[in-house]
Chain A
Amino acid sequence: MVNPRRLQRRRRSIANIRKITRTMELIATARFKRALERVHAASAYTQRITRIVQRLATAGLEVSHPLLEPREEVRSARVLVLTSNRGLCGGYNANVLRAALPHWEECQKLPQAALEVSGKRGISFFRFRQIVPDQEYLHLAEKPTFDEVERLAEGYLEQFTAGELDRLDVVYTRFLSTAQQQVVVETLLPMSQLEEEPAAKKKPQEEETPAARGVVPYEFLPSAASILEQIVPVSFKTRLFKCFLDAVVSEQIARMVAMKAATENAEELLKNITRQYNRARQSRITSELLDVMGGVEALRGSS
């Protein structure tokens, strides 16, 4: 027979765990909201950048820039993997790393390849496989600020223009919507198209009033070409920043979902154990009652 006291102890500890996971879910929800706000703020910026690029294009300027041109021969590649600092977020890190590892192995066939990892989880994953990342970042996984990312981006740009770097790939979880995130390997350098952002591309055109749609000629100061030259690096920086922000939002969503599932599991378990405990208690009472009644019967028989 199951010991009711042991059951009760288990029940209590599960109730505690449920409390913890529920709190973690709430925290993740709050963090998620904050991170989402930052994504929206950043997309206000990228949308406007895209609009300016569209203006430049309608002005009849051919969009060309050293950062946009693919290299004929890729000799030196860099892979940047964005993971989280903390665990307990379901398959979030595992998914990113599952995409990152084969890609990194692919890149190692090139004469020169460097691996950069942001987030403790990713770092320990690669360390465990005897791969030591060339660069490790810990401060960018929780709350990346534009200043920090900009510094990183400037380093890449410098190396790219100097010819030391031919390709930059970022492995991260792209945030598509609250219900959908997707692990992607995105090549940021050389930049593909300037107006690639799928969400930002359509919207401004719909919002535009007829008067704004290129009917009035734009004035460019100093010149369209010079603005383009300046806007391409800015666009790269914001795109890299967006990767980091997306990663943070996706992490919080993953954690929210994982903790919700954990809480629900705990509830289920609690229900089962409570039932078992009640049954054990009842059967004990019954057997004790039977004992007493049996004793009474026996006494009556003997007298």
Chain B
Amino acid sequence: MAEALGAAKEQLRCVVVTPEDTVVDQPARFVALPLYDGELGVAPLRQPLVGRLGYGQLRIRHDGQTDSYYVDGGFVEVADNVVSILTSRAVPAEQIDIEEVREQLQAVSQRKTTDADSTEQKHQAMRRLQAQLRVAEKARG
């Protein structure tokens, strides 16, 4: 038991689940999360946390390499060196179709809005698409 704890202390386990699938379940040295108001880095032995996610990039560093995902809102729970990310969508950054996202962004930005609600919806959609674009472009370098 003690050895198991000692080994666990050095590493995080990062689990990303969507309602359809468990996308990621792997050890990690460091995880960077897109919280609702900015990025949060999680290293091993972090204090337990429950947080709300925004749209943005999730980075998982392990064995000297970094995996990048686009995360579509949701929640995160950190406890016992396990980072659980609950989101409705998680896409590897390389798999985002930049052209398609650009087109969608174009379409959304031209949408006419009449009241506060629809304006808010439009802005939300735009924030989402812009975040996707950022993540995808970063991945291409």
Contact = CB atoms under 8 A, between A and B. Distances in A.
Contact of B37 (A42, A218, A222, A238): A222
Q: SS class of chain B's interface: helix, strand, loop or mixed?
A: strand
Q: SS class of chain A's interface: helix, strand, loop or mixed?
A: helix
A101 interface: no
A38 B19 CA distance: 8
Contacts of A123: none
Nearest to A231: B75
B32 to A, nearest CB: 14
A230 B22 contact: no
A52 B74 CA distance: 12
Nearest to A56: B50
B42 to A, nearest CB: 11
Interface string A174-200: 000000000000000000000000000
A96 B41 CA distance: 49
B88 interface: yes
Nearest to A215: B48
Contacts of A145: 20
A137 interface: no
Given A45-B86, A150-B88, A227 B51 contact: yes
B48 A42 contact: no
Contacts of A41: 17, 19-22
Contact of A222 (B22, B36, B47): B36
A48 to B, nearest CB: 5
Contact of A220 (B22, B50, B79): B50
Contacts of B21: 41
Nearest to A227: B52
Contact of A45 (B18, B36, B47, B80): B18
A130 interface: no
Interface string B31-52: 0000111001000000111111
B19 A218 contact: no
A132 B22 CA distance: 39
A231 B75 CA distance: 8
A146 B88 contact: yes
B130 interface: no
A44 B24 CA distance: 12
Given A45-B17, A221-B40, A222-B37, A52 B50 contact: yes
A137 to B, nearest CB: 18
Given A45-B17, A49-B86, A219 B22 contact: no
B84 interface: yes
Given A48-B84, A52-B75, A52-B77, A217 B48 contact: yes
A24 to B, nearest CB: 27
Contacts of B20: 38, 41-42, 145-146
Contacts of A220: 49-51
9 contacts: A41-B20, A41-B21, A48-B84, A146-B19, A211-B80, A217-B48, A220-B50, A231-B75, A234-B88
Given A45-B17, A237-B19, 17 more contacts: A38-B20, A44-B17, A52-B77, A55-B77, A56-B50, A145-B20, A146-B19, A146-B88, A216-B47, A216-B48, A217-B48, A219-B48, A219-B49, A221-B51, A222-B36, A222-B37, A222-B52
